Amino acid sequence: MGKDVIIACDFSSAEQVFDFLDKFTGKKPFVKIGMELFYAEGPSIVREIKKRGHKIFLDLKLHDIPNTVKKSMSVLSRLDVDLCNLHASGTKRMMEAALQGLTREDGTRPLLIAVTQLTSTDQESMENDLLIKEPIDKVVMHYAHNAKEAGLDGVVCSPLEAGKVHDLCGKDFITVTPGVRFADGDIGDQKRVMTPQAAKEIGSDYIVVGRPITAAEDPVAAYERCLADFVD
Ligand code: C5P
C-alpha cells in the first residue's frame, strides 16, 4: 500500500455518509469508519461502502482480554476491510491474539495497526490517571515497538512522531497520522497539528483527515488539495 489520504467519515447515519460520498465522482477516497458510524448503522455500512469501491479503515480500537479480541477480530475479518486497529496498551499477548483472529483460513488478513497513546492523553493525565510516570514520547515509542514485536503492521500516531517511529521500527512499519490541517485552516480541537506537506516530508504513510474535508464548502476540492500536497 502506498501513500494515501484517508477521509474520517465521522457521520452518525448512512444517509449523511452517502450524501457525502456521492460528491466524489472521480477517485474513490480511502475512508475511515469509526465508532460513531459503526455503532449507528452496524456492519452493513461497512459492506455498503466497500461495495461502492472504497478502501476502508475500520477504526474500532479494540481493547479487551486476548480471547475476546481474537474472536472479535475473526468476525471483523469477514467484513473484508483493508485496515483495522486496537489499543497497544492491551499488551503484546492481546495484539498477537488479535492477529491470529484476523487471519483468514487462506492466510490473508486486513492490515492491523495499534493506537499507542491517544493524542487526547497528555503527560499530566497519563501520570495522574494511568500512573505511568515515564515521558509520553518514550511510552509511545515503547508501545510502537511492542506492536512491531507482536507482528502488527504499524501504528496510529501524531505526525510529529512518524519519523521517530520509522527510525525505531523500520520504514515499512506503517504510520497512520491524524491531526492534519491546512496552513490556512481552523485547527478545531486538535492540539498538535501538521500540514499535509509537512506530514509527507516527515514520512507519514497515510494521513487521516476529517473536518478539513467533511466540513469544507467544497469537500472534493479539499480532498484533491490534500492528495496534491501529500501524495503527488
Ligand atoms: O476532523 P479531524 O481531522 O480532527 O479528524 C481526525 C480523525 O482522526 C477523527 O476521526 C479522530 O477520531 C481520529 N483520531 C485522532 N487522533 C487520534 C486517533 C484518531 O484525531 N490519536
Q: What is the DSSP string of 18-63?
A: HHHHTT--SSPPEEEEEHHHHHHH-THHHHHHHHTT--EEEEEEE-
Nearest atom (ligand 1) to Cα of 10: 10
**110-153 per-position pLDDT tens digit:** 999 999 988 788 899 999 999 999 999 999 999 999 999 999 99
**137-194 per-position pLDDT tens digit:** 999 999 999 999 999 999 999 888 999 999 999 999 999 999 999 999 888 877 778 9
Share of the chain above pLDDT 70, in %: 100
Ligand 1 center to 71 CA (angstroms): 26
If one residue of 7, 9, 10 were mutated to test the ligand 1 pocket, choosing by the most ligand atoms within 8 A of its CB, it would be: 10
- What's residue 189's pLDDT? 79
Ligand 1 center to 208 CA (angstroms): 7
Report whether pLDDT(202) > 60: yes
Query: By the 8 A CB rule, do 115 and 136 touch?
Result: no
Residues with CB under 6 A from ligand 1: 8, 10, 34, 118-119, 156, 178-179, 188, 190, 208-212
Measured distance CA(79)–CA(197) in Å, rounded = 33
Ligand 1 center to 178 CA (angstroms): 5
Query: By the 8 A CB rule, do 190 and 181 touch?
Result: yes
Report whether pLDDT(70) > 80: yes
92 noted as active-site residue = no
pTM of the model: 0.95
- Which of 3, 50, 55, 61 is flagged as catalytic? 61
Question: Nine-digit cell at 196?
Answer: 499535509
CATH of span 4-230: 3.20.20.70
Share of the chain above pLDDT 90, in %: 90
- What's residue 1's pLDDT? 56
Nearest atom (ligand 1) to Cα of 157: 21
- Give the position of cell 515515564: 134
Which DSSP string do the residues of 215-226 spell out, in sequence order?
A: TSSSHHHHHHHH
Measured distance CA(9)–CA(206) in Å, rounded = 15
Domain boundaries, the chain: 4-230
> Phi/psi of residue 202, each to 5°?
-80, -10
**Lowest model confidence (mean pLDDT) among 28-32, 115-119, 211-215:** 115-119
- What's residue 122's pLDDT? 87
Determine the average pLDDT of the residues in 25-54: 97
